Amino acid sequence: MNADAIQGGTTAAAHPNLALVKYWGQRQAALNLPLNNSISLNLDGATTHTTVMFDTTLPHDRVVINQALASPAAAQRVSAHLDRIRAIAGVDTRALVISHNDFPAEAGVASSAAAFAALTLAATHALGLQFDDRRLSALARLGSGSACRSIPDGFVEWVAAEADEDSYAYAIAPCGHWDLNVTTIFFGSHAKEVSSLEGHRAADTSPFFTTRMAGIDTTLERVRSAILRRDLLELGLLIEREAISLHVIAMTSQPPERPWMSGIYYWQPQTLDLIQRVQQWRRQGLQVYFTLDAGPSVHLIYEEDDRASILAHVTPAIAELGAGVIHSRPGRGAWLVPLDEVPAPALDPTCRM
Ligand code: PMV
């Protein structure tokens, strides 16, 4: 099959999202149902394009990710998601899936969230299923929990619910609502030893998990309100404490499959170095805050008006730490991409090994 043959495919794109209130711990693992609501924003500095073409001549799904044949585990995860969509559409045709990220894997932005959001939109559309955002979001969640938050536009809240169809994400404010900047700083390829899936499963073994859950509704209410009022002074410290709360849980939880571990450490020395620099920058009067996901990368958050003065401090620190960087603003939700706007690697079914 050559690049022309993919002309009949459907392409969708999505941004990864960055949680301000974190999803950490599951009510039900098989359905990726979370224990608490979470709040995020889409990052427009990183994009995944995914093309799906159903083809009756294919004996099995073929999955190409970043111009290489997907690993058996990744291909299996994509096929399982396509099976859900095929079951709804009542078809059993196999598909060619070509997915391409314009950001490095080691950046610590959730490529699986963007990937499953784009895959859900492209595959449903390719099979003629016209789903609204709520249904697309709940469906994307089954592929990867936080993928549900990459479906809606801008600033997003994911509802924790007991029933599959009730746990979806919706926009609390559009991407143009607030001119925030996010600078993601990453430090080379530290392969994550403990996946977020294992982290979720271990979360309730932490003695501090009940304390986190007891305060989560107040945090959600305050973060939601600070976003709606565009109040970075209020939002900033809240999201820093929220990120640290996730890591306190991780560092004090016991992954069942790893009895030799006293806790999960996602940080690298540079992570703490940057956290301390951010506090010093604030002491000097800069309005810059951080958040962290389940990895060593540090995401800085600040307002557009402060960009020049903040980057004057941040850029030399990035160079000193030898770190990589992605700059983002709040991004749109997942969207369909016309063929002539699809980047070439997202249409090329050949693999460079
Ligand atoms: O969607 P998952 O299973 O990759 O979990 C994401 C977990 C965090 O990124 C740490 C927090 C979040 O809410 O995105």
* Confidence category of residue 193, pLDDT binned at 50, 70, 90: confident
CB environment 37-69: b (16+ within 10 A), e (fewer): bbbbbbbbbbbbbbbbbbbeeeeebbbbbbbee
Q: What is the mean pLDDT of the chain?
A: 94
| Contact in structure between 41 and 328 (CB atoms under 8 Å) | no
Q: Could you identify the atom of ligand 1 that is nearest to the CA of residue 145?
A: 1
Residue 128 in this model has a pLDDT that exceeds 70: yes
Measured distance CA(160)–CA(157) in Å, rounded:
10
Question: Which has more confidence, 188 or 39?
Answer: 39
Give the model confidence (pLDDT) of 57-112 as tens digits: 999 999 999 999 999 999 999 999 999 999 999 999 999 999 999 998 777 788 89
Ligand 1, residue 158: give the atom nearest the CA. Answer: 13
Is residue 353 pLDDT above 70, yes or no? no
Reported as a pLDDT band with limits 50, 70 and 90, residue 5 is: very low
CA distance 38 to 165: 17
How sure is the predictor about 252, in pLDDT bands with cuts at 50, 70 and 90?
very high
Q: Please report the sign of the dihedral spanned by the C-alpha atoms of residue 171, residue 172, residue 174, residue 176.
A: negative
In the chain, what percentage of residues exceed pLDDT 70? 97
Atom of ligand 1 nearest to the CA of 38: 13
261-316 confidence digits (pLDDT tens): 999 999 999 999 999 999 999 999 999 999 999 999 999 999 999 999 999 999 99
Top mutation candidate among 43, 148, 196 for ligand 1, by most atoms within 8 Å of CB: 196
- Taking CA atoms, 211 is separated from 73, 196, 214, 245, 296, in Å, by 35, 21, 5, 10, 24
Run of H or E residues at 115: helix 111-126
pLDDT at 1: 42
The first and second tokens of residue 305, run together, are 């008006």
Query: Which ligand 1 atom sits closest to the C-alpha of 18?
Result: 14
> How crowded is residue 136: how many other Cβ atoms within 10 Å of its Cβ?
25
Question: Is the model's pLDDT at 7 over the cut of 70?
Answer: no
Interval between CA 8 and ligand 1 midpoint (Å): 33
- Residues 220-244 have pLDDT tens digits of 999 999 999 999 999 999 999 999 9
Strands of 125-193, DSSP E = 155-158, 169-173, 180-186
Using CA positions, which residue lies closest to atom 14 of ligand 1? 19
Dist. CA 90 → ligand 1 center (Å)? 31
Q: Which atom of ligand 1 is nearest to the CA of 246?
A: 10
Atom 4 in ligand 1: residue holding the nearest Cα: 196
Instruction: Report the pocket of ligand 1 as residue ranges, CB < 6 Å.
Output: 19, 22-24, 38, 110, 112, 144-146, 196-197, 293-294
Distance of CA 3 from the midpoint of ligand 1 (Å): 34
CA of residue 132 relative to chain centroid, distance: 21
Is residue 127 helix, strand or coil?
Answer: coil
| Cα–chain center distance at 32 | 14
pLDDT at 108: 75
Q: How far is the CA of 309 from the centre of ligand 1 (A)?
A: 31
Bigger pLDDT: 251 vs 8 = 251
146, 184, 247, 298: residue to mutate for ligand 1 pocket, most atoms within 8 A of CB: 146
pTM assigned to the model: 0.96
* Predicted local confidence at residue 110, as pLDDT: 81
Please say if the pLDDT value at position 122 is more than 90: yes
Looking at residue 190, its pLDDT comes to 62
CA of 25 to the centre of ligand 1 (A): 9
- Beta bridge pairs of residue 98: 51, 64
